[in-house]
């Protein structure tokens, strides 16, 4: 036997049931032809190599790889992105995390990348494709918040926000499209916000940046439909992360101080009592199994998701009064 063909008794995808790697995805390959002959062996039928088919090594490898996808996730240094990368890495996928800072993890490969810089994105994609022959999934998670009154916001702050939340996401999609088009398949999730469907008080530009990404997503769905590539916006409610540490916070002028700090305290409380990031990962895992996607999906607590249909059902003034009450502005 040259080694190009191996006697294969069985091969299957499984979840490790015990030990250090309990709960971690694994692909089990049992070859026949063991000549040790341990008396306690519970698969003695594997000893005789001639009783099992000779299978090309390439075929065994292809079958194993079919259970593992190449996934790129942005913004993986902390929060939702880190949880997504670890979750899908634990499921046995080949996960590449792109963030400004290198992240230590045994479950995914971290590539320091500023996605607002196209040259850095191109380098990261080149590195990934030097190891992989396809890109199956892109999750555009990198983003930042911004709080403050519209009147108090300046051009530099607004541009910084849009440069990451909109342009960075677009540049990532542009970078993976050639490979996805070549393979005639792919899935792209743009992480948006329930707040993109409404102008949130003191988060107007954040809402606007996510709303802009939503409209780009809608337009691009038409443009890429010929290549079997699925694309959607996933609108999240409040998720329990450290987002408050990374928000742009404008200088608060005197007329807004009293009301701003009431709203700011409320929004931080909503985040502190938000959904755990791992629940987002579980939701995305189910979404990735769907063959055809809608343009928009919504995930979060009922009290936040219900605000979207209420905006269109209720009279404008009634809805605004409801939002003021929810944000503790009254």
The catalytic residue positions are 77, 192, 206, 210
Closest CA to 217 of 239, 238, 187: 187
The whole-angstrom separation of Cα 79 and Cα 240 is 8
Closest CA to 295 of 216, 239, 195, 205: 216
């Amino acid at each position: 036997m040259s080694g190009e063909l191996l006697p294969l008794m069985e091969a299957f995808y499984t979840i490790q049931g015990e030990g250090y790697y309990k709960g971690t995805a694994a692909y089990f390959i049992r070859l026949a032809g063991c000549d040790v002959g341990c008396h306690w062996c519970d698969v003695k039928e594997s000893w005789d190599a001639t009783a099992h088919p000779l299978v090309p090594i390439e075929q065994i490898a292809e079958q194993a790889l079919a259970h593992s996808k190449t996934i790129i996730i942005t913004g993986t240094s902390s929060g939702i992105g880190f949880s997504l990368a670890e979750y899908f890495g634990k499921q046995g996928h080949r996960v590449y995390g792109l963030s400004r800072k290198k992240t230590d993890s045994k479950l995914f490969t971290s590539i320091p990348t500023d996605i607002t810089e196209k040259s850095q994105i191109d380098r990261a994609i080149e590195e990934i494709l030097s190891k992989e022959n396809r890109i199956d999934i892109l999750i555009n998670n990198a983003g930042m918040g911004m709080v403050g009154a519209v009147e108090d916001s300046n051009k530099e702050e607004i541009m910084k926000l849009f440069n990451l939340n909109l342009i960075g996401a677009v540049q990532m999609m542009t970078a993976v499209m050639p490979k996805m088009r070549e393979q005639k398949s792919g899935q792209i999730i743009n992480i948006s916000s329930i707040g993109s469907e409404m102008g949130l008080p003191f988060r107007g530009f954040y809402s606007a940046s996510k709303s802009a990404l939503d409209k780009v997503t809608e337009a691009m769905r038409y443009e890429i439909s010929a290549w079997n590539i699925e694309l959607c916006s996933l609108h999240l409610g409040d998720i329990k992360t450290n987002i408050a540490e990374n928000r742009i916070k404008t200088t608060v002028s005197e007329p807004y101080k009293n009301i701003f700090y009431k709203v700011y305290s409320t929004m931080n409380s909503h985040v502190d009592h938000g959904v755990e990031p791992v629940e987002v990962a579980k939701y995305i895992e189910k979404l990735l199994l769907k063959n055809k996607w809608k343009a928009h999906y919504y995930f979060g607590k009922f009290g936040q998701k219900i605000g979207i249909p209420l905006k269109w059902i209720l009279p404008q003034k009634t809805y605004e009064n409801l939002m003021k009450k929810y944000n503790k502005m009254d």
